[in-house]
Amino acid sequence: MTHLQNARVILTGASGGLGSHISQQLSIHQCKIGLVGRNKQRLEILSKRLQEQGADVIAIDADITLAEGRDKVFQQMQQHYQGVDILINNAAIMQFAEFV
Ligand SMILES: NC(=O)c1ccc[n+]([C@@H]2O[C@H](COP(=O)([O-])OP(=O)(O)OC[C@H]3O[C@@H](n4cnc5c(N)ncnc54)[C@H](OP(=O)(O)O)[C@@H]3O)[C@@H](O)[C@H]2O)c1
């Protein structure tokens, strides 16, 4: 067991180069991961691969530059994991504003 076990993590940019490596590491630590990106197909390929390794993940297709996209992320996390412990905001976006 690690201190990250069962932590509920939002990972934006999950399907990108760094994101897919971070998701792999989080799954090794047995986190529950909301994988976020806009391209649903890329997310589903990643989530299927992680689930086949025993990871607890959900794919959330959302554009985090949009308020409705960010709302969707939190709604999905609430619905599947009853909340969020950690936000890893890794998507390649430069926008200086509050996340919610
Ligand atoms: N790679 C490096 O060497 C390096 C070095 C220093 C810093 N960084 C930073 O690390 C972060 C990740 O880099 P990377 O190389 O992994 O980038 P990447 O391969 O281009 O991946 C970007 C990820 O962000 C997602 N994304 C982009 N716009 C989005 C939006 N509006 N809403 C939701 N998701 C969005 C993309 O998925 P969709 O297109 O499907 O949305 C993809 O999953 C970036 O912020 C980058 O600036 C990277």
Question: Ligand 1 centroid vs 54 CA: distance in angstroms?
Answer: 25
Q: What percent of the chain has pLDDT over 90?
A: 88
pTM of the model: 0.93
Convert the pLDDT of each residue in 37-68 to its tens digit: 999 999 999 999 999 999 999 999 999 999 99
Report how far residue 37's alpha carbon sits from residue 92's, in angstroms, rounded to the nearest whole number. 10
φ, ψ dihedrals at 75, nearest 5°: -65, -45
Q: Predicted confidence band at 95 (pLDDT cuts at 50, 70, 90)?
A: low
12 CB within 6 A, ligand 1 = yes
CATH 1.10.275.30 holds for 8-89: no
Where do the domains of the chain lie?
A: 8-89
Q: How confident is the model at residue 53, as a pLDDT?
A: 95
How far is residue 41 CA from its own chain's centroid?
15
Residue 44 Cα distances to 36, 59, 96, angstroms: 10, 6, 29
34 CB within 6 A, ligand 1 = no
If you average pLDDT over every residue of the chain, what do you get?
A: 94
